[in-house]
Structures are given as C-alpha cells and as structure tokens.
Chains A and B, each alone.
Chain A
Amino acid sequence: SQKIEQNSEALNIQEGKTATLTCNYTNYSPAYLQWYRQDPGRGPVFLLLIRENEKEKRKERLKVTFDTTLKQSLFHITASQPADSATYLCALDTGGFKTIFGAGTRLFVKA
C-alpha cells in the first residue's frame, strides 16, 4: 500500500540556519506532492505544491525539491526563524485528487 515516511523525530535548529525536512514515499508515482504547515490545535495550511515534471520550487524562504527516481522530496526553510516552529506535513496525490499525508515532522527553531 501507499506509504509516506517523514522523520518522526523532531528537528531542532538554531535561528538563521537552514532547516531541511525529508519526505520519502513508496508504491506510487504521484502527479504532484505538497507540503503543509500545522500549528498546535489548528488545521494544516498549504505551503507549496511541486509537480512530477518539476525538480524544484521556491516561495520566499521555502524551497522544495522532488526526485521521482528516488521517490523523495526535500523541504528547506532558509534563514529560519522561531515563528517557523511547527509541524510540517508532506502529502501526495494518489490519483483523482485523493490526497494522503505523512505523519509530519516537528520543527523547533531556537532563538
């Protein structure tokens, strides 16, 4: 069955550094992959979408890469800030807009 793996351990980094989160998947070839941010007690919020024919996508301090051969996406936050502390979820379209999520990685940015 389709499986999405994200690092379950929290990522702790210092303010100003680049945070890199990993998303690996198996058993599928998604047309696109998405990243969401979730704050405690809130619903996930969409950040970026990258399609299978795109290698990289940027939005302000965010960068996403998508390697369909490795079945992996990397999510980078440059010049990280304490306000970036949250859980980041990777999501895949498995066909027909059916979207499944990884369990997420918690990021803590220390001032």
Chain B
Amino acid sequence: DARVTQTPRHKVTEMGQEVTMRCQPILGHNTVFWYRQTMMQGLELLAYFRNRAPLDDSGMPKDRFSAEMPDATLATLKIQPSEPRDSAVYFCASGLEGSGKNTGELFFGEGSRLTVL
C-alpha cells in the first residue's frame, strides 16, 4: 500500500531552535510538494520539486526556511531559526507528472504538527 511518509508527526520546540521535517514520497513519483496548513491561511504551497530539482519556492520565507531533496526517496524542510508564527501542520505530497502520465492527483502524508514556544 503505497503512501507518503512524514516524520516527525509531532514536534514541540522552543523559539530559535532548528527544526527538520522529513518526507518519503511514493516510489516512482517525480513531483514533491511542501504545504503548510493553519486555521487562518488554510493550505499554503511552500515549495515543490520535479525530479529532485526545485521548481518553485516562492511561497517559502527564504531567510529561515529551506527545502531540499537529497535523493529521490527523501525530501526535507528545515526551519532555522524557528519562530512561534511557524507553528502549523506541514504536509508533504507527491504526484506523477509527465506527458500522458499526469493524473493530477496528489497523495498527502499525515503531516508534521509543529509547535514553536
């Protein structure tokens, strides 16, 4: 049963600490997305990758956030230093895009709930 796996599921940290969230996309998917969800803003797109290359990270605060794909099985989202306003649920999603292959469907992980005190 293929699924997107995210770790950690929950993280409580203090302001100023570094936070790293990890995502294992579904094997064979070539596009990976990072979203942030809050009550106020809903589901915001932070960044997305195609074949491990970043395509768009315009939704991400560049001064403290960074996203990478060290290999095809791992995507990371790092916040350094973290701030209370970063408290949210961070979702990773993956999909398959390409000529004739794009079904449009995104598969989401269960999210990483971050609380910054």
Contact = CB atoms under 8 A, between A and B. Distances in A.
Interface of A: 32, 34, 36, 41-46, 49, 89, 91, 93, 96-104
B70 to A, nearest CB: 21
Range class of the B interface residue count: 20 to 34
Nearest to B98: A97
B42 A98 contact: no
**Chain B's interface: helix, strand, loop or mixed, by majority?**
strand
Nearest to A103: B42
Given A102-B42, A103-B43, A45 B104 contact: no
12 contacts: A34-B106, A43-B93, A43-B111, A44-B43, A46-B107, A49-B103, A49-B104, A89-B43, A96-B97, A97-B48, A102-B42, A103-B41
Contact of B105 (A34, A41, A89): A34
A24 to B, nearest CB: 14
Contacts of B97: 96-97
B108 A45 contact: yes
